[in-house]
């Protein structure tokens, strides 16, 4: 008899994380999720299963540049389907993907599965609305910018870079993947922002750009999609923990 059966309590939520796109962002997501969970629970670790996609470099670059064709889409669909199979076998009950570029694939692949989707794009929209921003610049891969994931509405306008600026963003994403931003000094980042006209904020719509979340070089506030996802996952796991915590743990032992 396992511990859950012995205690009569439901197990805490188990989160499946599709990782590896890219690895630095996945590591940062996990470390920050652990820190958030420990702070909220007095030191407990979250129950997390991470599956790192064995992503070929050619496939990754095709999605960054927006050149992915039917073959690339079939390959990524198969990899994501395998990841969801891993999570179900591991007993996960919710799943998330810290990658904007591949975000649109998950809802269809989750149909018919008993996995709750923690939606990063929705979390970003909620963060923008809470801060009252009106016009924001979306920085992401070409695939993300073209996907329409981030749409105008509810008083928010998403500006997108022009063709030359978008090529700059692609190079910025690749630099973040390598963890080397020496080719992007503050002046280069500021020119990228100024090309979009008046802005209230910049949205880092690629999780690899999280390296810039604390940057003041943009000259406007930053909304980091990875940070928004950490908050959403932390809230989901904490809510499930409260749902399964016995009354004596919430109110103190019965005397």
The pLDDT of residue 242 is 67
Residue 70 pLDDT > 90: yes
Angle between helices 163-178 and 186-194 (to 10 degrees): 150
Confidence of residue 10 (pLDDT cuts 50, 70, 90): low
Q: What is the mean pLDDT of residues 102-120?
A: 94
The pLDDT of residue 45 is 95
Q: Which residue has the tokens 């591949």?
A: 102
Residue 251 pLDDT > 50: no
The pLDDT of residue 247 is 38
The pLDDT of residue 243 is 57
Q: What is the mean pLDDT of residues 183-194?
A: 91
Distances in Å between the alpha carbon of 82 and those of 125, 158, 163, 180? 29, 33, 35, 31
The pLDDT of residue 2 is 41
Q: Could you give the percent of the chain with pLDDT greater than 70?
A: 90
Cα–Cα dist 48/38, whole Å: 13
- 3-class SS at 140? coil
Confidence of residue 22 (pLDDT cuts 50, 70, 90): confident
- 3-class SS at 255? coil
Q: Which of 133-142, 188-197, 235-244 has the lowest mean pLDDT?
A: 235-244
Q: Please tell me the pTM assigned to this model.
A: 0.87
The pLDDT of residue 65 is 87
Q: Where are the beta strands (DSSP E) in 79-199?
A: 94-96, 116-117, 135-139, 157-159
The pLDDT of residue 177 is 87
Cα–Cα dist 161/196, whole Å: 6
Q: What is the mean pLDDT of residues 135-145?
A: 94
Residue 253 pLDDT > 50: no
Q: How many CA atoms lie within 13 A of 46 on its CB side?
A: 31
The pLDDT of residue 64 is 87
Confidence of residue 3 (pLDDT cuts 50, 70, 90): very low
Q: What is the mean pLDDT of residues 196-223?
A: 94
Residue 158 pLDDT > 50: yes
Could you tell me which residues come within 8 angstroms of residue 162 by beta carbon, excluding any fewer than 6 positions away?
195
Mean pLDDT of the chain: 89
Q: Could you give the percent of the chain with pLDDT greater than 90?
A: 76
Residue 249 pLDDT > 80: no
Confidence of residue 12 (pLDDT cuts 50, 70, 90): confident
Q: Is the preceding peptide bond at 58 cis, omega within 30 degrees of 0? A: no
């Amino acid at each position: 008899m396992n511990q859950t059966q012995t205690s009569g309590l439901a197990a805490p939520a188990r989160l499946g994380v599709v990782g590896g796109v890219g690895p630095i962002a996945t590591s940062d997501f996990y470390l920050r999720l652990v820190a958030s969970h420990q702070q909220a629970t007095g030191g407990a670790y979250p129950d997390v299963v991470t599956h790192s996609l064995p992503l070929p470099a050619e496939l990754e670059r095709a999605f960054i540049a927006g050149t992915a064709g039917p073959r690339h889409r079939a390959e990524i669909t198969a990899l994501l389907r395998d990841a969801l199979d891993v999570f179900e076998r591991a007993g996960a009950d919710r799943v998330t993907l810290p990658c904007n570029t591949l975000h649109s694939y998950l809802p269809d692949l989750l149909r018919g599965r008993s996995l709750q989707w923690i939606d990063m794009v929705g979390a970003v929209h909620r963060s923008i609305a809470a801060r009252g921003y009106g016009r924001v610049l979306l920085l992401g891969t070409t695939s993300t910018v073209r996907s329409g994931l981030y749409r105008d509405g509810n008083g928010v306008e998403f500006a997108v870079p022009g063709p030359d600026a978008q090529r700059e963003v692609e190079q910025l994403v690749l630099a973040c993947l390598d963890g080397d931003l020496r080719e992007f000094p503050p002046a280069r980042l500021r020119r990228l922002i100024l090309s979009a006209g008046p802005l209230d904020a910049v949205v880092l719509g690629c999780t690899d750009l999280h390296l810039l979340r604390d940057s003041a070089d943009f000259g406007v506030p930053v909304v980091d999609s990875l940070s928004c996802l950490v908050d959403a996952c932390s809230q989901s796991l904490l809510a499930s923990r409260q749902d399964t915590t016995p009354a004596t743990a919430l109110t103190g032992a019965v005397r």
